[in-house]
Amino acid sequence: MTTRNSTAEPAPLGVAVVGAGYWGPNLIRNFRGSPAWDLVAVCDLDTERASAVVGARSGVLVTDDLAEVLGRDDVHAVAIATPARSHRPIAEAALAAGKHVLVEKPLADSVAAGEAMVEAARAAGLVLMADHTFCYTPVVRKIRELVTTGQLGEILFVDSVRINLGLVQPDVDVFWDLAPHDLSVLDHILPDGLRPLGVSAQGADPIGAGKPCVGYLSLPLTGGALAHVHVNWLSPTKIRQMVIGGSERTLVWDDLNPQQRLSVFDRGVDLVQQTVDSADRRTASISYRLGDTWAPALPEREALAEMVAEFAAAIHEDRPPATDGAAGLRVLAVLEAAATSLRANGAQVQVAAPAPTLELIR
């Protein structure tokens, strides 16, 4: 997705990063290191913090004035790394100023806000990209390839665990903080994107933080498959693992094992035949495959470097990026449905279909 035109490399695009807190410095480092980009400015209300990130002896503009940034002609794009509730106003201002926009996950703090952003970008003919960073890791790209080429067969189940001792966020719960990672990966690798038949959510706030700190999502998929996500801020042991069971093969992505991040098991359970006996009970005849395990070699590339390259490529090629606004909206739709399910004691709720126009832009 990051093909480069080697015959005539376009001139670097100017970019400004808004927000120099937790995630901004990562964006800053990668825009700086990319031949496709020229980091022009960093904008943060705390200019001292922004200056420290930019470093001494630097010609990058540091300012707390968004209008100043948006007024510059050498800024072609804006990357937003601020709290989720401010994504919409900043994005709308940037789009209004004719800038392409990259937004840290989640795209917005509600489906409605996200839809407004997507519509604004569509109307302006500008690129709106969700920074679903994990989708640009070598491991997720390989997983997508394995799924797309049918090597797993049909998806039977997905189990994703993302737990560690995490920073209890002031503004969002554990679902909105962590699950966008799992959901954006699911959206990226499932053949039809993330379109569950429903959402059930279980949450707990055993420390009295005022919001769920432990959470589980169940997402029934078409064909009887089930996806499940476990997010947890309170676990002192860190686990980041996704198991994707397929009818042909099953893969395990263990993100904390850099020596073997991805394992593909040619092993599984097959339903050989199914009979119905006199008492009308179905009896399945099961067979097991106990084959080899295979760990594909993965290139060592930084996901964010791929992501900023894709942002530039989408702009140059005037096309939606691999993780576009619609992808961001599908993630938001599940998060909102989960919040509804939580209030209903875990009952399964429908996921709102995105507005029709949104689908068109994909």
What residues from 23 to 42 belong to the interface with a copy of itself (CB under 8 A)?
32-33, 38-39
For position 57 contacting a copy of itself by CB under 8 A, the verdict is yes
The Cα–Cα gap between 41 and 144 comes to: 35
Q: Which is nearer to a copy of itself, 105 or 261 (CB)?
A: 261
Give CA 260 to chain center in angstroms. Answer: 22
Q: Which is nearer to a copy of itself, 119 or 154 (CB)?
A: 154
Contacts (CB under 8 A) with a copy of itself, residues 327-346: 345-346
Q: Which stretch binds a copy of itself (CB under 8 A): 180-188, 294-302, 305-313, 318-326?
A: 294-302
The Cα–Cα gap between 123 and 354 comes to: 17
β-sheet bridge partners, residue 319: none
Q: Which is nearer to a copy of itself, 116 or 157 (CB)?
A: 157
One character per residue 94-133, x = contact with a copy of itself (rule: CB under 8 A): ----------------------------------------
Give CA 31 to chain center in angstroms. Answer: 19
**Exactly one of 70, 232, 321, 336 binds a copy of itself (CB under 8 A); which one?**
232
The Cα–Cα gap between 130 and 105 comes to: 6
Residue 234 identity (one-letter amino acid): L
**Exactly one of 97, 209, 355, 361 binds a copy of itself (CB under 8 A); which one?**
209
For position 4 contacting a copy of itself by CB under 8 A, the verdict is no
Instruction: Output the six-digit token pair for 96.
Output: 């209004």
The Cα–Cα gap between 348 and 56 comes to: 54
For position 202 contacting a copy of itself by CB under 8 A, the verdict is yes
Q: Which is nearer to a copy of itself, 8 or 281 (CB)?
A: 281
Name the minimum Å distance from CB 113 to a copy of itself.
Answer: 19
For position 305 contacting a copy of itself by CB under 8 A, the verdict is no
Coil vs helix vs strand at 330: helix
For position 294 contacting a copy of itself by CB under 8 A, the verdict is yes
Nearest of 72, 56, 95 to residue 16 by alpha carbon: 72
User: Please, what's the b/e burial string for 15-37 (b: 16 or more CB within 10 A of its CB; e: otherwise)?
Assistant: bbbbbbeebbbbbbbbbbebebb
Nearest of 58, 114, 62, 105 to residue 80 by alpha carbon: 105
Q: Which is nearer to a copy of itself, 52 or 67 (CB)?
A: 52
Contacts (CB under 8 A) with a copy of itself, residues 240-279: 243, 245, 247, 250, 252, 256, 258-260, 263, 265-271, 274
Name the minimum Å distance from CB 59 to a copy of itself.
Answer: 4
Name the minimum Å distance from CB 172 to a copy of itself.
Answer: 13
Nearest of 166, 221, 164, 161 to residue 189 by alpha carbon: 221
Please name the residues in contact with 300: beta carbons below 8 A apart, sequence gap of 6 or more.
138
The Cα–Cα gap between 287 and 193 comes to: 31
One character per residue 162-191, x = contact with a copy of itself (rule: CB under 8 A): -x-x-xx-x---------------------
Q: Which is nearer to a copy of itself, 218 or 323 (CB)?
A: 218
**Exactly one of 47, 110, 151, 293 binds a copy of itself (CB under 8 A); which one?**
293
Name the minimum Å distance from CB 93 to a copy of itself.
Answer: 24
Please name the residues in contact with 205: beta carbons below 8 A apart, sequence gap of 6 or more.
211, 212, 213, 214
Coil vs helix vs strand at 102: strand
Q: Which is nearer to a copy of itself, 274 or 357 (CB)?
A: 274
Number of other residues whose CB lies within 10 A of the CB of residue 271: 10
Name the minimum Å distance from CB 359 to a copy of itself.
Answer: 27
